[in-house]
Amino acid sequence: MSALVYFNQGIGSLTGQPLFFYLKETLGLSPSTVMYLGSVTTLPWMIKPLYGWLSDTFPVWGYRRKSYMILSGLLGVCTALTIGIIPSLPLFALYAFLILDALSGAMKDVAVDGIMVEEGQRHEITGKIQSIQWGSLTLATVITGIAGGWIAEHFDYHLSFLIVALFPAAVACLACLYKEQPAPGAKSPVSLREVLKNKRLLLSMLFLFLFWFSPAFGAPVLFKMRDEFHFSRFTMGLLSTVGSACSILGAVWYWRVNRTLNIKKWLIISVLVSGFSTFAYLYLTPTSIWVYTVLFGIFSMAIQLIVMDFSARICPKGKEATTFALITSILNLGTFLSGMAGGKLYELVGYNWLVIISGAATFLCLPLIPTLRVEQADA
């Protein structure tokens, strides 16, 4: 179930390149506008604690997880088909449906992550489950890199959404077969105030926000590839596929070693590698971008799994879906603000300063690590 839900998330990126070229070259939108619009679609991911609270507190049809996956899967089918079938949606309507599609994805993610934390903590395999989840997502993006570039070259975004609609339908069908212990009924609501009193959790969320805040990446790099390097749509898709294929190696590595790692030590290593990797993008050429894609593809997945495994380990029992959703919504807030800040700063200070700001935000994570009491996560 976890593998399919995350594969569904990854296959959703099939629409990314066709939609990007529609906005850039058909509608003629600027980089900042493209970044702003992309940020808007992350809004449903920032209120994931609400879905976690509903899932933890109010069972539907007697279940806390599978019912929410079924409902969100059906919503995903409807939104993807609508975008794929209607020939020309006004921009505001297109993004309204994209926001609904993001809502569908966020709800599925919260439900399956609740299962991951519960089962992972019980059997001490949060790292292994997340390696499988993110490996599945990355495998999907290996497919969508080339496929998305090919669709963008020969068709438009409509075909990509029609293909994507198949996968939330598969999630809904598989969720019907998932064997979940029936819940007794609505229980006392999980208190977000109680969760937020956990100082260690708040410091962890600040760490994760700074780690994920990267306004230099996304649209600015895509515009450089297209306008300065004159990469074809297919070449840009191939680059994405190569990066995803390398990321799978990072997921396999973490699946093998996750139970033997010292989390505190590897969080420090992760911050250092991520920060210096970001600064490397100050030197961006048609050749160096291929080197970065291979090397950082491997490292970034390993680093991401270290950070996400740490997040899963610190979730208090009985509040798994709510707490993990709260943590990951901070990551999505970092992504959202990266797009909003990046869109404005790109016009004001240019690409190089965006890279410097992104790297500096990553290095600000270092003084927070001693406050996280990571040794409890290791235990």
d(Cα 361, Cα 308) in Å, to the nearest integer? 18
What is the rounded radius of gyration, in angstroms, for the C-alpha atoms of the chain?
A: 20
Kind and range of the H or E run holding 349: none
Q: Which element (helix H / strand E) includes 63?
A: none
Contact between 106 and 45 under an 8 Å Cβ cutoff? The reply is yes
Tokens (6 digits) for 25: 């070259």
pLDDT at 246: 83
Cβ-proximal residues to 242 (8 Å cutoff; 6+ apart), any chain? 145, 290, 293, 294, 297
Query: Is residue 293 within 8 Å of 141, Cβ to Cβ?
Result: no
Q: Letter for the amino acid at 155?
A: F
What is the pLDDT tens value at each position of the chain, 379 positions in all?
778 888 888 888 888 888 888 888 888 888 778 877 877 888 888 788 788 778 877 888 888 788 888 999 999 999 999 999 998 889 889 989 999 999 998 888 888 887 787 777 777 777 788 888 878 888 888 788 778 878 888 888 899 999 999 999 999 998 888 777 776 655 555 555 666 666 777 777 788 788 777 766 666 777 778 888 888 878 887 887 888 888 888 888 888 887 777 877 888 888 888 888 888 888 888 888 888 888 877 777 887 787 778 777 777 666 666 777 777 777 777 777 777 777 677 777 778 888 888 888 889 888 888 877 655 545 4
Q: Domain 2-378 maps to which CATH number in 3.40.50.620, 1.20.1250.20, 3.90.1150.10, 3.30.830.10?
A: 1.20.1250.20
Distance CA 222, CA 206 (A): 28
Give the Cα separation of 371 and 204 in Å (integer). 9
The span from the CA of 355 to the CA of 277, in Å, is: 10
pLDDT at 373: 62
pTM of the model: 0.69
Q: Where are the domains of the chain?
A: 2-378
**Three-state SS at 189:** coil
Confidence (pLDDT) at 218: 66
